Amino acid sequence: QLRPMPAGGLSGDLFALGIASKIRTDCNSTASASSDFGRIMEAAPEAVLHPATPADIAALIRFSASSPVPFPVSPRGQGHSVRGQSLAPGGVVVNMRTLGRAHHRINVSADYVDAGGEQLWVDVLRATLKHGLAPRAWTDYLQLTVGGTLSNAGIGGQAFRHGPQIANVHELDVVTGTGEMVTCSRDKRKDLFFAALGGLGQFGIITRARIALELAPKQVRWVRLAYSDVVAFTRDQELLISKQASEAGFDYVEGQVQLNRTLTEGPKSTPFFSEADINRLAGLASETGSGAIYFIEAAMYYDETTAPSVNQKLKMVLAQLSFVPGFVFTKDVTYFQFLDRVRVEEAELRWAGVWDVPHPWLNLFVPRSRILDFDAGVLKGILGGDNPVGLILMYPMNTAKWNSQMTAVTPPTGEDVFYTVGLLRSALSADELERLQRENQSVLAFCDKEGIECKQYLPYYTSQDGWRRHFGAKWSNIAQLKAKYDPHAIMSRGQRIFPLPSVPAASTATT
């Protein structure tokens, strides 16, 4: 579906542009932009641009857009998507990370931070903490770029209170698919602002985001509560996400599911659980009929002033919950350690050689009214065989915290609450990859058959019909905005959403 470059590669005119010295066509450069974290899709670009400024990106896009045969242009943040979304077969990948090399592109003000789209969230955190401030909404993993997560949504355990990361942005700089450099916000060029948030890179490249800040918490009481009963687990999660900041509750709420032999055959200890904890949990898992253990993962922020009351506050919250008695695990860490927690797991997985392997991940937003059907049919059904299944995330969010004007979608049922379920599995062999992909297909088919109106997060479809159904009522507006801001359909073609517009016969003939 992707139009290749004209035979002979990039037009020589491209190398006559002022950015020629920043374009690499050597095998090392193109190979490093040919795959992603998923390690499932592979496609080489013709070249990689290493921009020094947003104007370099604009020059490249203008060149493509005005070419007789425009070529694909894809920004690549960390390449942490899993289905080739940042690839540009036959086109140019923009290595966003070089934007911040020469200039410091994180500027902290009293209540917001201006961060380059190429910046890693961990660096935004470090810079803002120096001022005692921090963004309010986070992803679980911080080695992701600002532009990359804002092009999806950026979800995590703070979303129930603050919404996803896209709901915490005041202003964006975007280089559109025509090469125009636009500053947009709720008040200025708002169609582009809302389109780009969750926009899957379809309307342009985010080169700066103004992100809301709050006073940074200092310490975190990090808590895990074990459940053997999904009804109690989801009821308690929903209670916790209904609480306002002024009430006794948590500041972060997520959840995980451990199935089959994952507990007994997984690591003997984790950065959170000791070996003794894991043995106790494995004992609990073997007592439950299904072998499924659910964890609420939660966090309570505090500082020197509020530290004396944390124990009391936690006690009050726990008294309202129905976890398995005695199965409370807590740990006190700094705010930075808490937010950067997945980095420790990454180091362990790298050490064990299981980080750079295929990741056929499937993330779904499931309506609250069907989460128990999903649990029975998918977690205890399709995935409930003998195989350990690795990490499964499952936690609810409040729909009201999502702005429906943005491109990102939530389940169409319009319920107050929906769940995110992440089947974050790794394949250690080709057979396993095939099996996991088959299971993913079965999960989607099950939801279809049972009328569970879920939406994919970090979506992937192979047909435009799939995308139309994904965007639902938003589709026609999205198509119009695409025609306005990327009329040649050159941006982030690795998402495979829009076909190429037909090339006028006269133009084709000249190429």
Ligand X SMILES: Cc1cc2nc3c(=O)[nH]c(=O)nc-3n(C[C@H](O)[C@H](O)[C@H](O)COP(=O)(O)OP(=O)(O)OC[C@H]3O[C@@H](n4cnc5c(N)ncnc54)[C@H](O)[C@@H]3O)c2cc1C
Q: What angle do CA 498, 500, 504 make, to 5 degrees?
A: 150
- State how far the Cα of 492 lies from the Cα of 85, in Å rounded to an integer: 7
Q: Find out whether 443 and 378 touch, Cβ atoms under 8 Å.
A: yes
**Which residue's Cβ lies closest to ligand X?**
147
Nearest to 318 by CA among 251, 400, 425, 236: 236
User: How far, in Å, CA of 24 to CA of 46, rounded?
Assistant: 9
Q: Which is nearer to ligand X, 139 or 260 (CB)?
A: 139
Min CB(356)–ligand X separation in Å: 11
Judged by CB, which is closer to ligand X: 34, or 139? 139
SS3 content of the chain, % helix, strand, coil (to 5): 35, 20, 40
Check if the beta carbon of residue 185 is closer than 8 Å to that of residue 325: no
Cβ closer to ligand X: 57 or 314? 57
The number of residues in the chain equals 511
| Shortest distance, position 194 Cβ to ligand X, whole Å | 14
Cβ atoms of 143 and 78 within 8 Å: the answer is yes
140 catalytic residue (yes or no): yes
Specify whether 431 is catalytic: no
Minimum distance from CB of 8 to ligand X (Å)? 26
Residue 228 beta carbon to ligand X: minimum distance, rounded to whole angstroms: 26
Report which of 59, 8, 70, 3 is spatially closest to residue 507, judged by C-alpha positions.
70
Minimum distance, C-beta of residue 418 to ligand X, in the bound complex (Å): 14
Catalytic residue flag (residue 80): yes
Q: Are 104 and 208 in contact (CB under 8 A)?
A: no
**Side chain identity at residue 489, one-letter code:** A
For ligand X, which is the closer residue by CB, 228 or 410? 410
Catalytic residue among 131, 140, 373, 415: 140
Between CA 470 and CA 475, with CA 472 as vertex, the angle to 5 degrees is 95
User: Could you identify the residue written with the tokens 């937010």?
Assistant: 339
The burial class, CB within 10 Å (0-12 / 13-18 / 19+), for 288 is middle
Compare residues 377 and 390 and give the one whose CB is closer to ligand X. Answer: 390
Which residue in 46, 238, 251, 254 is the catalytic one?
A: 254
- Quote the least distance from Cβ 393 to ligand X, whole Å: 8
Site residues, ligand X (CB under 6 A): 36-37, 74-81, 85-86, 96, 117, 139-141, 144-145, 147-149, 151-156, 200-201, 205-206, 458, 492, 494-495
CB nearer ligand X, residue 255 or residue 494: 494
What are the residue numbers of the active site? 80, 140, 254
